[in-house]
Structures are given as structure tokens and as C-alpha cells.
Structure 1
Amino acid sequence: MAEPQVHLVRHAEAVHNVNNDYSCRDPELTQGGKQQARDICRAFPRSQNVGLVFTSPLRRAIETTLHAFPNILDLHYFDRGSGSGVVKGAKLLIEPDVQERSALPCDIGSDKHFLESLFPKLDFSNLPADWPLKEGAYSIDEKEIDARASRFRHRLQEQIDNMEDEERRDVVIVTHAGFMRDLLGDQDIELARAEWKSFGIEQTEDGDVVLNEL
């Protein structure tokens, strides 16, 4: 049985990346960003191996996910007749722990009810009401961010361990440049928008979970 891979994807180009206006809350993708995401669909080499996709709840990440992986995600995440989605496709989890780390307006998410109106096919039931507040578990405090990254790495390992389809144990994570560095413990990594890198996952002797670039 092949070892599972974890694919970290940086979201595609959003409005604030073009107009440099970081005061816009939770901006959406540009048309160019949507095309960047669709290009992922054509280039991503391990579509048949993916059983689970995590995405940040920020709009640009959700939109990237839906445009990039219609050939991976299950049919029920898309409108009937759209041609997107696959039968018995990958599960999609909206994951607040992989949101961006800063408290700039562009990195503050929308409330759950608004997201449900924008993306009615997605399941936001596990999204806490306080997820955009940048307080508590989602604080911008460095210790809280480190705890959030560790918490998610452990949950990622648990999800992989519980996958039943041995041929589809890869995981995609659509996230942000800043939080990606915290997740990897690597402050030098810098992916371009809509770029991805693949990693192996292992548990260390002290009980931590780490991602190692392949």
C-alpha cells in the first residue's frame, strides 16, 4: 500500500491581491484567479488518489477549491447538471483551523449564514459561530497559532488513519501563505498563488505530527 501524500495548495488570486486593498473583508477570487484554479485541475497529477479535501472557510479558498477540484470532489457539492463533481468523490471539509493567521480585514472571514447563502451545496454545520473573530483558538497570538497548527496536524493524521479506501488516502489542503508556514514549521516556504507542494506525514517519537516535503 502506497504511503498517503498531503498536498498543500495556496489559494488563487483574489481581489485584494490585485488592488492592494487589504481593508476589504473576505474578498473573492478575480476572474484571473478562477482561471488559475481551473489550471490546477488540469495539472494536478494525483487526482485519483485523493479521498479528502480540507479548505479554509475564507471565500478565496473555498472558490479555489471548487474551481480546482471538480474532478475530485463528490457530485453533491455542485449544482446538478453543471458537469462538475464525480460519483463517490472525495469528501470536502470546511476547516477553520487552516484560515489565514492575520487580523487584516482581508483575512477575516464571513459569518456562517452568509457563507451558506453563497455556497448552498456545502456543509458549514461544523463551523463555529466565532471562527472569524480572531480570538481564543483563532487568535493572532503566536502561541495560539502554533497550537492551532499542531491541533490540525493531529486531526489530519487521524483523518488519514481512518480512511477506508486504501487507494484514495491522499489529502488536499487549500490554505494561505502565512498559515502554511506555521503548519509546516518552515518560515521560508513561499508558494505562488494557486501553486501546490506535496508532503509525507509522520508522527515523531515525542508524539508530534510533521509534514515532510517530497
Structure 2
Amino acid sequence: MQKMKTTAAQFTYPWQLCKTVHLVRHGQAMHNVEGDINREALLSPHLFDAQLSPLGLHQVGKLREDVHASGLLKRIELVVTSPLYRTMQTAFGVFGSTESNEDAGVNHPQIMAVELCRDRMGVRPCDMRRRVSECQALFPSIDFSMASSFNHKMLI
């Protein structure tokens, strides 16, 4: 058996100064539930900017517990989310600050909604979002400076 030669990885930037990126998908949303039953349901206006399902809210709670218990929250500097309701529910639910005792003395990362983080800008109501002013009212601690001020519905 021949011994393999290894060399240290070559970074163009010092690895000690690099950032780690974690990707998190939103919890199960109502359009996921209804779409699994009937794909045509995804065209229903009542699924506009779909919110998390009860299971999705449970998934968010579980991930919040895991992130807090692991100590990972202390190392996160920024959370970037799409401006869709379900993604902001997930981002704030996992990483946001609440007024509970579990948050006492914990620094929470900034959460920023960025339009370009959306997975698609389609014609289905579940892929459309509220106006930024509505989102700001629902999630006042999220930074919307990188979210377009137009309503996506106007593009269609």
C-alpha cells in the first residue's frame, strides 16, 4: 500500500479569518401541506405568502432548542432570510430574541431580510410576499434594508 502525500490546503485568505455559513430551510409551511394533498391547491389565493404549519412551528421550536443548547447562537453574527413570511417566522423563531427567561443575557444575531434569498419568484400565491411595510409591522426587529419595497404581486 502506497502512502498518500498530503499538503496543507492553500487558502487565498487566512482560514482563521474565514466565516462559516450555515444554511437552514424554513419549517414546514401550509402550502407544503396542502400541495402534498393536491398540487392545484398551490394556486389558491388563501396560501398567499404561506405561513408555517403547526408542524413547522414545532420544527422551529426544536431547532431553537438545539441551537441554544449547542452554544452555536453565541457564534452567529448575522442571519439572512428571504422576506417570505414562513422564512422570517423560521429565522426569528430560531435566532430572534424573545422576552423569555431563556434569552436573559444572550446576544442574538442581527436578522436581515434580503430579496435575492428567495428561492423563486413565481406566479403561485405561496411564492408571493407581503409589502415590506407589512413585514416590518409583523417582524419589527428584522432589518428590511435589503428587501425591495415593491409588492412582488405587481411584477406578475
Establish whether TM, by shorter chain, passes 0.5: yes
How many equivalent residue pairs? 128
Residue aligning to 2:100: 82
Shift of 1:83: 4.0
Q: Which runs of 5+ in 2 are unaligned?
A: 1-15, 36-40
Residue aligning to 1:176: none
Shift of 1:39: 1.4
Larger radius of gyration: 2
SS at match of 1:92: strand
Of the two structures, which has the highest relative contact order with CA contacts closer than 8 Å and spacing of 6 or more? Answer: 1
Say yes or no: does 1:114 pair with 2:137: no
With normalisation by structure 2, the TM-score equals 0.69
C-alpha RMSD of matched pairs (Å): 2.5
What is the CA–CA distance in structure 1 between the aligned matches of 2:102 and 2:48, rounded to whole Å? 28
Shift of 1:42: 2.8
**Equivalent position amino acid for 1:54 in 2:** V
Pick from 50, 53, 58: which aligns with 1:30? 53
CA distance change for structure 1 residues 89 and 121 in 2, over 3 Å: closer, same or farther?
Answer: closer
Pick from 99, 114, 120: which aligns with 1:95? 114
Shift of 1:117: 2.5
Larger proportion of strand: 1
With normalisation by structure 1, the TM-score equals 0.52
Identity across the alignment (%): 27
Larger proportion of helix: 2
Pick from 42, 48, 65: which aligns with 2:91? 65
Residue aligning to 2:23: 8
Q: Which runs of 5+ in 1 are unaligned?
A: 140-214
Shift of 1:122: 2.9
Pick from 28, 47, 53: which aligns with 2:79? 53
CA distance change for structure 1 residues 56 and 38 in 2, over 3 Å: closer, same or farther?
Answer: same
SS at match of 1:54: strand
